[in-house]
Amino acid sequence: MATKKCNYCQTEIDSKAKICPNCKKDLRNWFVRHPIITGFLVITLIGMVGSAGTSSTSENKNNFESGFPDKSETVSEKKLAPEKEADKVKTVKIGEEVIVGDVKWKVLKAWIPTQLTNYSGPVKTSGKFLVINVVVENLGRDLKSVTDLKVVDDRNREFISYSGSFGLNNLGADALYLLSNLNPNVPYTFADVYEIPADAKGLTLRVGDLEFLGSDEGIVDLGL
């Protein structure tokens, strides 16, 4: 009679024995001892193989039908190109118009004055002042309001309107008032003043669509 050693107690037993008569351990392999788990694993494996095969076949079919499988990414990029061009912010110079949404903007002039004065005399600053004259027109049908505009320099520093603009002289136009009403198709000319650092340069004015949650923007290069 052929014999074998029990894997657990090392006793010589019948080679065909499934249970060790000495230590009573089950000598069958793991898969035989756990038929339910084994069946589940087999079904899962078959499903994964079948799914991978179906996906591969479908992809190959689509590539074959297109005729240009290696150019699909290029085609997609070309389709997106016009959208990317449209998303670019338009930049204009002084004297040029830029339309943002349904609002038309034009900076008439911009300068760095040597001195600004008000009713009490010269106005002091630790930096320098920037004055701009702007004409804006509401091309839509609803009333809009002009708020503080923003100036940005070449270091991406942002500056808002000077809080002491009221009463300043020789601005070229009336100073901008916060939330000035802008009726449809009535151009409005105003002056805006900014107090900026002495080393600020590469100045640009950012103009928008004057919507409450608007994100459209145009850029005017002030040439300073």
54 & 129 share domain: no
34 & 123 share domain: no
Q: Report whether 116 contacts 169 (CB < 8 A).
A: yes
Tokens, residue 115: 């001195």
Question: Is 173 a domain residue?
Answer: yes
Is the Cα torsion angle 204, 168, 116, 111 positive or negative in sign? positive
Query: What does each C-alpha distance from 52 to 15, 46, 47, 55, 57 come to in angstroms?
Result: 42, 10, 9, 5, 9
203 & 122 share domain: yes
pTM of structure: 0.59
131 & 27 share domain: no
As a whole number of angstroms, the distance between CA 83 and CA 88 comes to 9
CATH code of the domain covering residue 101:
2.60.40.1240
Q: Given this model, what pLDDT does residue 48 score? A: 79
106 & 32 share domain: no
Question: Is 204 a domain residue?
Answer: yes
As a whole number of angstroms, the distance between CA 208 and CA 104 comes to 9
Question: Is 159 a domain residue?
Answer: yes
Q: Given this model, what pLDDT does residue 205 score? A: 95
Question: Is 152 a domain residue?
Answer: yes
Q: Residue 149's domain spans which residues?
A: 91-221
Q: Given this model, what pLDDT does residue 180 score? A: 72
177 & 119 share domain: yes
As a whole number of angstroms, the distance between CA 218 and CA 199 comes to 24
Tokens, residue 96: 């040029």
Among residues 175, 81, 92, the alpha carbon closest in space to that of 131 is found at 175
The count of domains in the chain is 2
Mark 66-98 as b/e (b = at least 16 C-beta within 10 Å).
eeeeeeeeeeeeeeeeeeeeeeeeeebebeeeb
pLDDT along the chain (224 residues), means of 10: 70 72 69 68 78 59 54 49 56 94 94 92 93 94 85 95 86 78 91 94 92 80 95
Q: Report whether 154 contacts 201 (CB < 8 A).
A: yes
As a whole number of angstroms, the distance between CA 30 and CA 32 comes to 6
Antiparallel, parallel or unpaired: β 158-159 and 150-152: antiparallel
